[in-house]
Structure 1
Amino acid sequence: MTARSIRVTLADMLDDLPGKNFDDFVDQLLDCGEEPRVRRNRVEGKSRLEVVDVLVSTFTETGAVRVSVEVLKQINCHEQANKLVKETSGQSSNLKETSGQSSNSGAAGVNTTARHGRAEKHFVDEHRTVLIDRVTNVASILDDLLHEEVISKVHYDEIMALSPRQSQMRKLYDPLYGAGRAAKEVFFKSLQAHENHLIQDLQKKE
């Protein structure tokens, strides 16, 4: 299932919810402990399509499905939860690991896992502070992330409206907190394309 069809499936699921159940869905979404947290002003009083945009921009496409299923079960909408699972079963977003690469390898076979004490962190997480401070081609990176549907058009517009570029980069990281490795690999690949000298400099220091 493509990322776009996941959006359509989520929108159809919310359309199938009666008014009270939709309100319960939004309330439970705000109460759930899933990180990153959804802010009240982003979903309260919003349309179903706007809530889908928030789900996807916050949790990524596949994460939005998982969170929605959990929320549906919590508000006793088990039929809709089962239907959502069935319609998305065995499917994922278009953010795939590049064929032939190991799970720890990013674009061009570069190891994008950095060791941080006893834990392992992705390159873009390990160097978050430096990347926020030094990345200059934010617009080009946003275009890539939007094209690969790591971020939604709503999130894209929110970031583009910010200034300076450091604020844009901080906001850009929001959807990546709850994202899996595939989304971070897309981000890393874009950094390689538009900020190659910076990436090479950081890799030399590891």
Structure 2
Amino acid sequence: MAKSLKDLIEEALEDLEEESLKKFKRKLNEVQPEAGYNRIPRGKLEKADRMDIADHIVSYYLQQYGLSITLQVLEAINEKGVAESLRTNAAAADGASGSTVSVPPPTRSSREGAGAGPRPAGQHFVDQHRQQIISRTTLVEPIIDHLLSAGLLTDEQYERVGTRDTIQNKMRELYSFERGWGEGDKDEFYRALETHNPPLVRDLERQ
């Protein structure tokens, strides 16, 4: 009997170490789903085991979109091998069943220099617009949650940003760590801004 996409998602989660599973749940809760879907509540994920998580993914996103979400989150937490294995297994199950499931292609990793928005030669978007990003960001916590999940901030750095007294000082503290990031890391920072403050990013891109 061919395995369902839910079975394959659960098997992929079984391949994650406990720390990676925590990152997966945190990142899954941050995902902004497409119109027509609701985000999985944080409370349902906090104590969920691998089987529960797979059940929630399929319950909230159905099998096809759930597969896409799962692959997106695995790649975001840098579990590229698990994502590729899931993609291969899903494609094989699709062929064996004769169904029309679409298996999403891999995204270019931020660690592999994926582009992230317009930038002038030699300067990254997040550096070009540093002053405005600091002054116009209205909510820092989702951004640093994203960066912690992606491994760009340590727990200590996360706490240092979070304890600053104003939003602008939190962003200044965050930028003190950004100075040591590579291009791929800055791409991930861009994606965090794009996910959690899309109006600001769109406005800056038009400048």
Q: TM-score range by the shorter chain?
A: 0.3 to 0.5
